[in-house]
Amino acid sequence: MKIMSKHNHSHEEHKHAHLDEHQENVQQEESCAAQTQPQENPAPAEHPDYYDKFVRLSADFENFRKRTEREKAALIEYGKKDFAQKLLPAYEVMLREREKMEKDEAAHQCEGEAKSLRDGMRLILGELEKIFKAEGIVRMDVKNKPYDPDTQEVVAMIPAKPEQAGLVIDEVQMGFLMDGKVLRPARVVVGQESAQ
């Protein structure tokens, strides 16, 4: 009996030792698994946000490109306007000469040489008018029209009939528009109703 209980006792000890060893192995496996599995909520890494930087840089570049295009267009527009203003006095002289020649021709006061000069001037003016038209430059039509302070400068006011009061009686300097804007204002004489 004693031998049996000794045997039972050592069997029990062996069983407990085996159980303890098994539990230890399970704990070690759980510990290893916990170490290898990533944490559910890791702390956010401190990395620069390259996408936001790229978006900002793209927007800055697009704004720079648009601004450069606007400045380039403005410079071209300014250069075109400046050049046209320099040409206008010569163009005006030729227009006035053509008008005078047409009056002479209508009165049959045009001789052979004058006729060939007139024809040459017409050709030159025709070319200039094509260029000006292509650039959006047109002469203002002001005579016998109401005075417009936005496009004209008054150089004198003269007594006029009641129906001519406020109208442009004469044009001292021709006015021109470029793309609908004043390139050079017309300088005009305006009729004023005389006091009775």
Interval 91-141: pLDDT, tens: 888 888 888 877 777 777 666 666 777 778 888 888 888 888 888 899 999
pLDDT at res. 3: 45
Q: Is 128 exposed, middle or buried (0-12, 13-18, 19+ CB in 10 A)?
A: middle
* Four-residue CA torsion sign, 22, 26, 32, 36: positive
Non-local CB neighbours of 137 within 8 Å, separated by 6+ positions = 84, 176, 177, 178, 183
What pLDDT shows up at residue 120? 80
C-alpha–C-alpha distance, residues 71 and 78, integer Å: 10
Q: For 177-195, what is the mean pLDDT? A: 89
Mean pLDDT, residues 141-166: 92
Would the pTM count as exceeding 0.75? Answer: no
The reported pLDDT for the residue numbered 44 is 47
Higher pLDDT, 119 or 163: 163
144 and 130 together in one domain: no
| Boundary residue ending a domain (85, 101, 135) | 135
CA distance linking residue 136 with residue 129, whole number of Å? 10
Q: What is the pLDDT of residue 123?
A: 83
CB environment 46-77: b (16+ within 10 A), e (fewer)? eeeeeeeeeeeeeeeeeeeeeeeeeeeeeeee
Q: Which two tokens stand for residue 129?
A: 């008018």
The better pLDDT of the pair 44, 166 is held by 166
- Let me know: does 173 contact 151? Beta carbons within 8 Å: no
Helix (H) or strand (E) holding 129: helix 112-134
Determine, yes or no, domain membership for 6.
no
Number of domains in the chain: 2
The last residue of a domain, from among 83, 110, 135: 135
pLDDT of the residue at 111: 67
Per-residue pLDDT, averaged over 155-181, amounts to 91
pLDDT of residue 154: 94
Residue 153 lies in a domain: yes
Look at residue 174 and tell me if it is in a domain: yes
Question: In whole angstroms, what is the distance from residue 100 CA to residue 176 CA?
Answer: 20
* pLDDT tens-digit map of 3-14: 444 444 455 555
Phi, psi of 68 (to 5 degrees): -65, -40
pLDDT at 184: 92
Which residues are paired to 161 by β-bridges? none
Token pair recorded at residue 14: 């062996």
Residues forming beta bridges with residue 154, ordered by sequence position: 188
Same domain? For 128 and 80 the reply is yes
Q: Same structural domain for residues 131 and 151?
A: no
pLDDT tens for each residue of 25-35? 656 655 544 45
CA distance 85 to 182: 11
Range of the domain at 84: 54-135
pLDDT in tens, 35-89: 554 455 554 455 567 788 888 888 887 887 888 788 777 776 767 788 788 888 8
Based on the domain organization, do 129 and 58 belong to the same domain?
yes
Which of 110, 135, 160 is the last residue before a domain boundary?
Answer: 135
**What totals of helices (H) and strands (E) does the chain contain, helices first?**
3, 6
